[in-house]
Chains A and B, each alone.
Chain A
Amino acid sequence: MKKIFIFLIILISFSLQTFPNESFGGIREDKVQAAFIYKFIQFIEWPTEIEKESNKFKIGIYGKSNMEELLQTFSGEKVNGRFLEIHPVKNLNDLKKCHIIFISPSEASKLNEILEALNGSSILTISRMKDFALKGGMINFYVNEERVRFEINPEPARNAGLKISSKLLKVSKVIRTP
């Protein structure tokens, strides 16, 4: 009995040096969401004039969210020939400088105002709040059966001139604004 106990302690001691950042039972959902946001860039086509504009691809985070910190991990990476930049967005006027806007769930009460401000621009809106897609957002994360899932509302995306690949639509839950 004692031997087992000591053996266990020694066994554990061996692993001291390597501690990846992970918790038990699964990966944090916001991390998986961040990875999805990164992935989405490959499955969505922005209008050509926007694609040509600059060699930077900007993701803005509106409202206080740890998504900013997570996405910073990807900052400077090259995706589809452009370099990723991650910015917090403080006011509505700055929204239009981005390609993707992640709207923090803390801003739920201002959602209509935000979507209004984005009207007419080719910006992909992403969030994880209740009824986001239903209220005119484009991609909304949720969790079912311990896995990250997302809803897509294709209509506002189409209006914004964004083309969402059928592969992405196939694995999403398609929501239509009533």
Chain B
Amino acid sequence: MKFNNKNLKHVFLLWFAWMLIIGSSPVYGKNDLELTTLKDLSLDELLDIKVTSVAKKEQRLFKAASAIYVITNEDIRRSGHTTIAEALRMVPGMQVAHIDSNTWAVTSRGLNSRFASKLLVMIDGRSVYSQIFSGVYWDEVDVALKDIDRIEVIRGPGGTIWGANAVNGVINIITKNSKDTQGGFISAGAGNQELGFGTFRYGEKIDQNKSFRVYGKYYERDEFGERLGNTPADSWDAFRGGFRMDWEVSEKSSLTFQGDYYNGESGEKADNNVVSFSFPGTASFDREVQIDGVNFLTRWKKIISETSDMELQFYFNRQKRDGSPITEFILDTYDLEFQHRFLLTQKQEITWGLGQRYVKDSFSNSLALQFDPLSRWNYRLGTFIQDEITLIPDNLRLILGSKFSENNYTGFEFQPSGRLLWTPNDRHTVWGAVSRAVRTPSRAEDTIRLNGSVLPGPTVAAFIGTHNFESEDLLAYEAGYRFRPSSKLFFDLSLFYNKYENLNSREPGSPFIETSPSPAHAVLPFFVENQSSGETYGLEFDVKWKPKNWWQLSAGFNWLEVSLNLDPGSQAISTLAAEGNDPEFQANIRSQLDLPHNFEFDTAFYYVDNLERFKVPSYIRADLRLGWHPTENWDVSVVVQNLQDSEHLESGEESTRLLSLTEVQRSVYGKITWKF
């Protein structure tokens, strides 16, 4: 779709007119309608009212100096989404595309691909960003969805606090404290795509100060639709279980212990993998990637005074991905973080922290894919300091800070940012920011040899990682405006201009001869270098509106332009990020409707523009959910996803690499939940 400047101008004019109307409308009265309604409810009805205790949290988010968006537990439940990756569709400006049923390309603010390298993802403070190929294996990112408190999504750089790879965005998946998940539930369901799934959770108080929960879940999902005559092989299943324990040691100090284990199989059709150096030398085959992982995290929080607190966190994470016969790796991560906040003067709040991470990797090589060395320790040490300066109390603040870190790939890195926040009252927030963020090299970019294809001769085209590969860096300019004319209506607009340098490019080198493995062959090398740069700009817009107690609407829209160039002198045949990989426009509208007799009816429409580069057409996705909770203990729902068509494509060939695309199919499933 083309959206020219004139159209855009119209939209803006309308938007401004709208702002004026809103600005002149009277503020809602002091008379508390809600409370007078509540008092007429019965005891049982009051007990069933869903409450939010996030007044403070909401305030914090409303007055944040970054483009933050929060997906609540209720949003996830009522969306009908069954994976975290899909739930991110709800965030305006997030790009979510299936490659096959268990592989996604997910990012914010552009440069999307299977290994979208600039989005940092964390679950309860534990990073699930993989340094091997720089990206997130979304089939491994999962928790019991019902125990998620919220998903905080920050579009834009967060390197100052979170460190490397928080370039285009940061996602924090935050689960509930175990004291808020008392009691048990069992849910189970099935459908045409969701072949069968079930979740179990039980939580209890050990004593007044200690609580715990345990959970387990399993799912089995069907293959997606056929594409270009390839029989799909992307069915997948996984088991996951875990626990969390929270202990309030005293009024001012608390301890958390949590851990998870998972094990699954993600099927795929591996495409054109080099299996021999004799022409043609490549083969396509089906394989089940075995995923396996375990993690343990502990966190100590201490409140020192009303204006000062600290946090110490340690985690261990083992990730194993067995993609035999091409590659298999095991990654053991040990991470220790410390953070401290205090008031330096009445007008200066300092937050600073220290962190260190050690990652041991080990690989098994194949003819197609090789790492050298096969195993090694990687490290990252860092510190950050941030000063929040009050220029005018409750009105104008300046936030300055930087991360300084050291890693075994590129040495010293710094990621400063400056943010200005203007909060004239509780209804308006205006912010602006300039920040630098880096994406550090992956193990692959440093040391991989990927034999891509075999030409007659025989000649092997190979991608080769180099130690010279530098961090990719970003200088981002952002601005945003949040407006809450009433507590029923909320607007959020953010604008950004991103300037990238040192982006990944694959540069041809001089051919050379190899005799082993046989047969003797020429190698056409392509070295991983930093000879690409570019800019992206755009906006994200979000409206939430609750016209009635029983009806909530939200809508999002985003526009994104990407322009990338090879540096002078570059002869690159390809780059990791490319123009036309991202939809220029996206929009969504969602409605959550409470009906009489405890029924719920929820609808969502998502529009995703075409991907120019691969001629992937634009699509509209429609989801419906009908829920019913006859009693407090029972929940029944039916969900239809992708109602609009029986099959559609979401990603392009190039973005997948060595993997066959499949088409997203219409999905229908039913689910029943019993609480006890």
A98 CA to B157 CA in the complex, in Å? 55
Q: Are B39 and A147 in contact (CB under 8 A)?
A: no
Q: Are A145 and B183 in contact (CB under 8 A)?
A: yes
With A15-B547, A16-B21: A74-B488 Cβ-Cβ less than 8 Å? no
Write the A68-102 contact mask toward B (1 if CB under 8 angstroms, else 0): 00100110000000000000000000000000000
Q: Are B49 and A22 in contact (CB under 8 A)?
A: no
Q: Quick one: which of B22, B54, B546, B589 contacts A4, CB cutoff 8 A?
A: B589
Contact of B33 with A by CB under 8 A:
yes
Select the residue from A16, A23, A70, A143 with max chain B CB neighbours within 10 A.
A23
Residues of A within 8 A of B279 (CB): none
Q: Are B549 and A25 in contact (CB under 8 A)?
A: no
A121 CA to B518 CA in the complex, in Å? 96
19 new A-B contacts at CB < 8 Å, known A4-B607, A20-B549, A26-B49: A1-B607, A8-B543, A8-B589, A15-B545, A15-B547, A24-B552, A25-B50, A26-B74, A28-B51, A28-B52, A34-B35, A34-B38, A35-B38, A35-B46, A73-B35, A130-B208, A134-B208, A144-B182, A148-B49
Name the residue of chain A whose CB is nearest to the CB of B545.
A12
- A to B CB contacts below 8 Å, 16 in the list: A1-B1, A1-B607, A5-B587, A15-B545, A20-B28, A20-B488, A21-B28, A25-B72, A27-B34, A28-B55, A35-B35, A38-B39, A70-B32, A73-B31, A130-B208, A171-B43
Q: Are A23 and B10 in contact (CB under 8 A)?
A: no
Within 8 A of A (CB), among B549-593: 549, 552, 555, 557, 585, 587, 589
> Chain A binding site: helix, strand, loop or mixed by DSSP?
mixed
Residues of A within 8 A of B58 (CB): 23
Stretch at the interface among B11-19, B103-111, B216-224: B11-19
A73 CA to B33 CA in the complex, in Å? 9
Residues of B within 8 A of A5 (CB): 11, 557, 587
A13 CA to B489 CA in the complex, in Å? 11
Name the distance in Å between A59's Cβ and chain B's nearest Cβ.
13
Contact of B307 with A by CB under 8 A:
no
Select the residue from A36, A145, A148, A168 with max chain B CB neighbours within 10 A.
A145
Name the residue of chain A whose CB is nearest to the CB of B557.
A5
Write the A1-21 contact mask toward B (1 if CB under 8 angstroms, else 0): 110111011001101111111
With A146-B52, A148-B49: A20-B34 Cβ-Cβ less than 8 Å? yes
A130 CA to B21 CA in the complex, in Å? 46
Residues of A within 8 A of B25 (CB): 16-17
Q: Which residues of B contact A (CB under 8 A)?
A: 1, 3, 7, 10-11, 14-15, 18, 21-22, 25, 28, 31-36, 38-39, 41, 43-44, 46-55, 58, 72-75, 180-183, 208, 251, 485-490, 543-547, 549, 552, 555, 557, 585, 587, 589, 607
A134 CA to B41 CA in the complex, in Å? 29
Name the distance in Å between B654's Cβ and chain A's nearest Cβ.
26
Name the distance in Å between A148's Cβ and chain B's nearest Cβ.
6
Q: Please provide the 6 A-B residue pairs with the shortest distance between their CB atoms, ordered closest to farther.
A: A19-B486, A26-B52, A35-B38, A29-B51, A19-B28, A26-B50
Write the A116-134 contact mask toward B (1 if CB under 8 angstroms, else 0): 0000000000000011001
Name the residue of chain B whose CB is nearest to the CB of A12.
B545
> Chain B binding site: helix, strand, loop or mixed by DSSP?
mixed
Residues of A within 8 A of B549 (CB): 20, 22
A134 CA to B34 CA in the complex, in Å? 32
A148 CA to B490 CA in the complex, in Å? 26
A36 CA to B40 CA in the complex, in Å? 10
Chain A-chain B contacts (Cβ-Cβ < 8 Å), number: 155
Q: Are B34 and A143 in contact (CB under 8 A)?
A: no
Q: Quick one: which of B34, B36, B41 contacts A22, CB cutoff 8 A?
A: B34
Residues of A within 8 A of B22 (CB): 16
Name the distance in Å between B68's Cβ and chain A's nearest Cβ.
15
A21 CA to B37 CA in the complex, in Å? 11
Q: Are A21 and B49 in contact (CB under 8 A)?
A: no
Contact of A110 with B by CB under 8 A:
no
Select the residue from B39, B41, B55, B485 with max chain A CB neighbours within 10 A.
B39
Contact of A31 with B by CB under 8 A:
yes
With A22-B488, A26-B74: A73-B36 Cβ-Cβ less than 8 Å? yes
Q: Quick one: which of A24, A38, A143 contacts B490, CB cutoff 8 A?
A: A24
Contact of A56 with B by CB under 8 A:
no
Residues of A within 8 A of B51 (CB): 26-29, 32, 143, 146-148
With A1-B1, A148-B47: A21-B32 Cβ-Cβ less than 8 Å? yes
With A19-B489, A134-B208, A168-B43: A146-B50 Cβ-Cβ less than 8 Å? yes
Residues of B within 8 A of A16 (CB): 21-22, 25
Q: Are B33 and A20 in contact (CB under 8 A)?
A: yes
Q: Are A32 and B589 in contact (CB under 8 A)?
A: no
